[in-house]
Amino acid sequence: MAQAFVHTHASHCESGVMSSLLRHHGLQVSEAMAFGLASALAFAYLPCIRINGLPLIAYRMPPRAIVKGLHRQLGLGMRFETFRRPADGMARLDALLDAGELVGLQTSVFWLPYFPPDLRFHFNAHNLLVYGREGDDYLISDPVAEAPVRCARPDLQRARFAKGVLAPKGLLYYATRAPAEPDWARLGRSALARTAHIMLHAPLPMIGVRGIRLLARSVERLPLGDGAETTRLYIGNIVRMQEEIGTGGGGFRFMYASFLQELSAKTGFAALDALSARLVVIGDRWREFALAAARMIRGRVPLAPPALAERLRALAADEKRLFQDLHGAERAWA
């Protein structure tokens, strides 16, 4: 008999989906552990990609990176399917659910009716799990919801086949193999090495520590005077990307700190505890940066882009030292 699905609330959608999927298939993995094992922590300042005319800033790896990272790490035999025709995508979902599969979907937040209207926006990389259906209602475990929800067929189809940036194209995914209990030390070392490489040695200057510095230079050059309103919009976009859209600059640093702490407990490698504590402090400093920026946007203190740039440079220096030490600890791990 198939195991009954148990919904779990999470902080973020993709890490929450994969944590729930792994637990359903018998491997007890927290959201933080799923995030860390997938080497999902990152930073990216991408001025060439615009959302509402403003550059994309991300504090984690791109959508699907957690799903694909855990697929590689744990040998899940994940199947990924997209569709040209919505009817084909819905028929395939129905067939998988009827066969007892737990199915992950990429969707648009805007078209999911169980989200309150003021929280809907055009973001096409929201992940959720479908664990069953009753007539034309789908039984959904959305990690950011407190409890399971229902979604009518027309609404779910619209959410799966939304157009625009990161269009999901009906993407669904599911595991074909249950994960075995892994060698946590081996997986942990490889995950740490990948994250350190992303943050310190990414080939593009807009990724990792160099990306934080690049953003600092961009902020420092923002105009005042007649250009002050443009500057407010630009700085507001940084804060919104960090604190409101789910990219979660500080939030993801805290999650990775939890991963380091859990990995230390599982493996007995105590050096990770000190690194975890340092990353919590860095997460607090990201939040302090967001607060300082918000005060300037609201006119509570004078608009001063160079002061924000200095905060970003300090964060870049903090993260460089942390990930250098993380890399050193990984290499010294016997």
Are residues 201 and 151 located together in one domain of the fold? no
Residue 5 lies in a domain: no
Predicted local distance difference test score (pLDDT) of residue 244: 65
CA gap 109, 124 in Å, rounded = 7
Are residues 169 and 227 located together in one domain of the fold? no
Q: Identify the H or E element spanning 47.
A: strand 41-51
Count up the domains in the chain and report the number.
Answer: 2
Are residues 302 and 189 located together in one domain of the fold? yes
**pLDDT surpassing 90 at residue 3:** no
Residues 192-228 pLDDT 10s: 999 999 999 999 999 999 999 999 999 999 999 888 9
Residue 8 lies in a domain: no
Domain boundary among 109, 142, 174: 174
Q: Identify the H or E element spanning 183.
A: none
Residues 143-200 pLDDT 10s: 989 999 999 999 999 999 999 888 999 999 999 999 999 999 999 999 999 999 999 9
Are residues 276 and 153 located together in one domain of the fold? no
**pLDDT surpassing 90 at residue 249:** no
**pLDDT surpassing 90 at residue 242:** no
CA gap 192, 115 in Å, rounded = 35
Domain boundary among 174, 203, 233: 174
Region 14-39: mean pLDDT is 96
**pLDDT surpassing 70 at residue 1:** no
Are residues 84 and 222 located together in one domain of the fold? no
CA gap 170, 86 in Å, rounded = 7
Predicted local distance difference test score (pLDDT) of residue 276: 98
Q: What is the DSSP letter of 332?
A: H
Domain boundary among 174, 198, 233: 174
**pLDDT surpassing 60 at residue 246:** no
Are residues 169 and 21 located together in one domain of the fold? yes
Residue 18 lies in a domain: yes
Are residues 126 and 237 located together in one domain of the fold? no
Residue 156 lies in a domain: yes
Residues 90-137 pLDDT 10s: 999 999 999 999 999 999 999 999 998 887 888 898 999 999 999 999
Residues 255-299 pLDDT 10s: 999 999 999 999 999 999 999 999 999 999 999 999 999 999 999
Are residues 101 and 221 located together in one domain of the fold? no
Residues ≥6 apart with Cβ < 8 Å to 196: 323, 324, 326, 327, 330
Indicate if the alpha-carbon torsion angle 2, 178, 256, 81 is positive or negative: negative
Are residues 313 and 276 located together in one domain of the fold? yes
Q: Which domain, by its residues, includes 241? A: 184-332
Are residues 312 and 234 located together in one domain of the fold? yes
Are residues 203 and 170 located together in one domain of the fold? no
Residue 3 lies in a domain: no
Domain CATH for 44 = 3.90.70.10
Are residues 127 and 198 located together in one domain of the fold? no
Residue 6 lies in a domain: no
CA gap 283, 289 in Å, rounded = 10
Residue 281 lies in a domain: yes
- 260 near 36, Cβ under 8 Å? yes
Region 33-42: mean pLDDT is 96
Residue 179 lies in a domain: no
